[in-house]
Structure 1
Amino acid sequence: MPLFRPPRLLAVLPLLLPALAHANINGAELAPLWALPFAGLLLSIALMPLLAPKLWHHHFGKIAALWSLLFLIPFATSHGVSATAYEMAHALLLEFVPFIILLVALFTVAGGIYLRGNLHGSPLLNTGFLGVGTLLASFTGTTGAAMLLIRPLLRANDNRRHKTHVFVFFIFLVANIGGSLTPLGDPPLFLGFLKGVGFGWTMQHMLAPMLTASTILLLVFYLLDRHYYHKEDNLPPLPDPTPDSRISIEGKVNFLLLGAIVVAVLLSGVWKPGIAWQIGGLDIELQNVVRDVLLLGIALLSLKLTPNACREANAFNWAPMQEVAKLFAAIFLTMIPVLAMLKAGKAGAFAALVAIVTTPEGVPVNAAYFWMTGALSSFLDNAPTYLVFFNLAGGDAQQLMGSGANTLLAISMGAVFMGANSYIGNAPNFMVKAIVEERGVAMPSFFGYIAWAAACLIPVFVLLTFIFF
C-alpha cells in the first residue's frame, strides 16, 4: 500500500509547467461571484456530513472536485489557460504539497506510538491526561495528539457513567488550543510558517494566551469532573471492561522521529542557502525541497521501524489522510480568487470586511481580527480561514511579525482557539467524535456541542480579548 495517494490533479501539473506564464491576478478586478466555489465547498464540508452523511462519505472527493472545476473552467475561459495553470501550480506545489507532507509525516509517526495498559479515570488523572495532551499537541500536531491519546482516555473512563464532558474538553484542549505553540501544532500555523512566519515567533507570542486559556479550562474541567465523579459514589459500580494495569509505551522509536520532524521543519526556516530553481515561473527553493524529502523519509522510516502490532492496536489506516488531501486540494484551488480579492484590500470585493477589522485611518482593530477569524474558524475549516485573514492583514509576514505582531497574534489565536467552537471547526474534532461514539459513548449533537462551547469557551475568549487586545 502506498504511503500516500495524492489527488490525481497533481499528476498533471508537471505537464503544465513548461507552459506557465507568471501572471498575478489583479484582485481589484474580480467580482464577488468568484468566491462562490470556495463558499460552496466549505458549506459542503460543514453541512453534508450532517444532512447527507452516506452521500458525503462515498463521494466527498467527487464533490470537492466539482467545486474546483466550477472555479477552474470559467476562470480559464475568462483569464486564459496559461494564467490559470500558473495559479494552480503555485497553490498546489508551493502551498498544498508542503502542507500535506507535514500532515502525512505527523500522522504516520504518531500512529506508530501505542500506549498499552490502563489507569483509573479519576478527576486528577483525567485532568493530568488533558494537560499532557495539550502540551503534546504543539509538537505532534492536534491530529497526532488526539489520535494517540483518545483511546487510552476512553479505556481509563470506560467504567464511569458520566463521561461525555471528558471528551468534550478533550476536543477543546488537545484537538485545538494545545496546538498553539509551534507551526507543527495546527495547520493554520504551518500555513503561516510557509508564508514566512518564523518558527520561534509562534512560541514566543502564543505561549501566554495558550497557558491562560488552558489553565482556566483545566481548572473548570477538574471541578466539573470531580462533581460527576462523586455523583457515582452511591451507585453500584459498573463492570470495568479494561481493568487497571501498568502503562507501557510501544513504538518508542517514533519519539525520535517526532524530534526529526521538528528538526526538518526548523531547518527550512533557518537554513537559507540562496539556491532556487525557476520552473515554469515558480521559485522552487532548495531548503523547502530538502524539508519535504526529509519529512517523507521520516514517514517511511516510521512505517519500516514500527511493529505492525502497534499500528493495528491504534486502528491505523490512511482513510483520514486521503480525505484531508482531497478536500484541501480543492480548498487551496478555490481560494485562489478569494485571496486575490482580499489582497486588493479596500479596492477589492471584500472592502466591507476590511472596514470591520480596520479603522477609517487604516489601523487594524485586533479584537475584531480575533473574533472575525474565530467566528469563521468555528464553522469553516480554520486553516483556510487563517489564510483569508492573513492576507486581509496585508500578507507580509515580516511586517506582521514586527509592527503588526498583535494583529498576527489575533489571527493566530482566533484560528487555533475558536476551531474548538463546533465539530466542523478543525479536522480532529469530528475524528474524536466518531471514535468516541464508536466505543458507545454518547456525544452531544451538533448544536449540543455548540452549547458546551458557548458555556465553557466563549467566556474564556472574552477574557482573552480584554487581556491581549
Structure 2
Amino acid sequence: MKRTLSKISAIFLPIILLLFIAQPAFAAESAHSFDGGALSIWWVIPFAGILLSIAIFPLVAPDFWHHHFGKVSAFWGACMLIPMLLSFGFATTLYEVLHVYLLEYIPFIILLFALFTISGGIRIKGYLKGTPEVNTLFLLIGTILASWMGTTGAAMLLIRPMLRANQWREKKVHMVVFFIFLVANVGGSLTPLGDPPLFLGFLQGVDFFWTTQNLFWEMSFVVVILLVIYYFWDRYLFHKEPMDQPEDDGKEPLGIEGAFNIILLAGVPAAVLFSGVYHLGEFTVYDVHMTVQSVIRDVTLLILSWLSWVLTSKESRAANGFTWFPIQEVGKLFAGIFITIIAPIAMLKAGKEGEGALQMVNDLVFTGGPNPEPVNGMFFWVTGTLSAFLDNAPTYLVFFNAAGGQAEVLMNELSQTLVAISSGAVFFGAVTYIGNAPNFMVKSIAETSGVDMPSFGGYMLWSVGILCPIYLLVTWLFI
C-alpha cells in the first residue's frame, strides 16, 4: 500500500505543480499579496482532493486509511503549499500559513482538545436504558445544552453515555446520525457560545441574545421535526432488535463520576466568552495580528485540560471508553484541511473578481440592477452549502460582509438576511462530516465504540435526504 501511495504521488504531484506553475508568476514583495481574484479554479484541487480522500479511502482501503490518514492529509497540504511557494514566494506563503494556523487551526484544535479531554472525564455510571424514549431525551437535552456550552461540549459530554446505553443494540447508526444533526449542529443556534460562526458575529457587534430572539422558532421547527422522525424511527428499529434488553444487575447505582469536570467544562465557554468581551492589547507575529486575550483563552483551556487529566482517575476514563484516537484523527485531518482551504476561502472573498463558479456567488445572493437587494433564500442556501464543505466560520464572515457588514443594520433593517446567514451557517454544518468541528469527532468516537458509521458520501445520503426537505420548509415558512 505504501508503494501504491508513492506511485500516486509520483504521477499526480508533478501534474498539479505544472498546472499551478502555468499560472502567472506573482510578485511576493508583500506578505499580503495572496489575491483570491487572481487564482484559477485549479487551486481548488488540493481541497477537493482531501475531501475525496476522506470520502473514498475509508470505503475502499479502510486499513490503509486507519494507519496513514495523517500522511494523506500532509500530501494534500503539500499540494497547496508547494504551488504557493512557486507562484507567490516564501513571504506570502509563510504569512498565509501562520495566519490560518495561529488565528484558526491552533485555537480550533485547543478548544476541541479541551472539550474532548474534560468531557471524557465525566462518566455517567449505572444502568441506562437504551429505549426510544431515553434516546430521544438524550437528544433533547444535548440540543438544549449545545447553545450554552457549545455544540462540541454538548456532543462530547453525551455521545459516550448514549452509546453505552445502547451498547446491546445492533442498529445504532441512525442514533449517531441524528445526534450529529441535533446536538453537534442545529442545537447551537441560539447563542454565540453555541457555534463558531455566531461567535464571529458577536465579535462583529451582533448582540449576544439576538440569535436567541431571532432564530428560536426556526431552530425549534427543525428540532421538533427531527426529534419526531427520530423517535418513530428508533421505536420501529427497537422492536425489531433480535436481542432483549439486558436487565439492571444493580451492581452500580446511577450517578456521575468525575463530577468536578463539570466545573472545568463550564470554564471552557467562560474562557471563550472572555476572549470576545475583553480587549487587552494586540501584538504581531510576522504581520499576523494576534490579541492578548486570545492567548490567555488558549492557555486557560490547556490548563483546564491538564487539571482534568491529572485529577480524573485513569480507571474512570477507561470505563468511559476514553482514548486519544478521535482527537488525533481530527487534529491530523484538519491540519491538512485548514491548509488546503486557504485558496477556496480567498477566492470566495474575492467575490466577482474570482474565476468560474465562485465568480457567480455574489450574483446568486443579490438581485440585479443598479440597486441590488439581498435574496434571503439564496443567502440561506449558498451560505449553508458552502458552510457544509468549507469552514462555516469564515464562510459566515464572508456573507456577513457581503450583506454590508454593519451589525446594527443587519440586526434591524436586514434582520431576515442575518437570520438567513446565521441559520444557514449553523444548520448546514450537519450536511457533511467536516461541516462542523464535532461531527468528525462524534463519528470517530462511535466507530471506536463499534458502530459501523457510513462513509463521507454515505453520510451525505442520510443528511441530504432528511435535512434538505426540512430546510426547504424553513426557507418557505421563515426566510
- Do the aligned residues in 2 keep the contact of 1:114 with 1:249 (CA within 8 Å)? yes
CA-CA distance at 1:64 after TM superposition: 1.7
88 and 456 in structure 1: CA distance in 2 versus 1, 3 angstrom threshold: closer
Displacement of 1:197 after TM fit? 6.2
Which residue, 267, 275, 279 being the options, matches 1:260?
Answer: 267
Offset of residue 57 of structure 1: 2.0
The normalised TM-score by structure 1 is: 0.82
Aligned partner letter, 1:461:
Y
Cα RMSD for the two superposed structures: 3.3
Measured at CA, do residues 231 and 101 of structure 1 come closer, stay the same or move farther in structure 2, by a change above 3 Å? closer
Q: d(CA) in 2 for partners of 1:371 and 1:292?
A: 33
Q: 1:394 aligns with which of 401, 407, 420?
A: 401
In the other structure, the counterpart of 2:7 is: none
User: Aligned pair 1:327/2:333, yes or no?
Assistant: yes
Q: Which runs of 5+ in 2 are unaligned?
A: 1-27
Contact persistence 2:330–2:441 (CA under 8 A) = no
Tell me, in whole angstroms, the C-alpha distance in 2 between the residues paired with 1:454 and 1:243: 41
In the alignment, structure 1 residue 94 sits paired with structure 2 residue 67? no
The answer to whether the 8 A contact 2:115-2:156 is kept is no
CA distance in 1, matches of 2:182, 2:59: 24
- 1:354 maps to 2:362: yes
CA distance in 2, matches of 1:156, 1:165: 15
CA contact (8 A) 2:55 2:455 kept: no
Whether the 8 Å CA contact 1:118–1:152 is kept in 2: the answer is no
Q: Secondary structure at the match of 1:359?
A: coil
* Pairwise CA distance, 1:442: 6.3
Aligned counterparts, 1:18-417, within 5 A? 22-158=31-167, 165-186=174-195, 188-189=197-198, 200-229=209-238, 238=244, 240=246, 243=249, 246-273=253-280, 275-349=281-355, 350-361=358-369, 362-378=372-388, 380=389, 384-388=391-395, 390-392=397-399, 394=401, 398-399=405-406, 402-403=409-410, 405-417=415-427
Question: Do the aligned partners of 2:403 and 2:417 also contact (CA within 8 Å) in 1?
Answer: no
Moved more, 256-265 or 324-333: 324-333
- CA distance in 1: counterparts of 2:422 and 2:139, whole angstroms: 22
SS in 1 for 2:474: helix
Q: Distance in 2 between matches of 1:107 and 1:115?
A: 16
Query: 8 Å contact 1:268–1:291 — kept in the other structure?
Result: yes
More divergent stretch after superposition (404-413 vs 105-114)? 404-413
Shift of 1:425: 4.5
How many residue pairs get aligned? The number is 444
Deviation (angstroms), 1:250: 0.8
Per-residue CA shift, 1:193-252, capped at 9, x if unaligned? 6777665454444433222211222233334444555678xx9x7251765764200111
Alignment-mate amino acid for residue 53 of structure 1: P
More off after superposition, 41-50 vs 138-147: 138-147
User: Residues 140 and 184 of structure 1 are in contact (CA less than 8 Å); yes or no, is this contact kept in structure 2?
Assistant: yes
For residues 300 and 192 of structure 1, do their structure 2 counterparts lie closer, same or farther at Cα, with a shift above 3 Å needed?
Answer: farther
Q: Is the 8 A contact 1:385 1:415 kept in 2?
A: yes
Give the 3-state SS of the residue equivalent to 1:259 in structure 2. Answer: helix
Q: Residue 21 of structure 1 contacts residue 281 of structure 1 at CA under 8 Å; is this kept in 2?
A: no
Q: How big is the shift at 1:68? A: 1.8
- For 2:254, what is the secondary structure of its paired residue? strand
* Shift in alpha-carbon separation, 1:416–1:389, aligned structure 2, 3 A: closer
Between the two proteins, what is the percent identity of the paired residues? Answer: 50
1-side partners of 2:294 and 2:424: how far apart?
28
Counterpart AA for 2:323: N
1-structure distance, mates of 2:387, 2:248: 37
> Cα offset for 1:93?
0.9
CA pair 28-256 structure 1, distance change in 2 beyond 3 A: same
1:131 Cα deviation after fit: 0.6
- Secondary structure at the aligned position of 2:32 is classed as coil
CA distance in 1, matches of 2:71, 2:203: 28
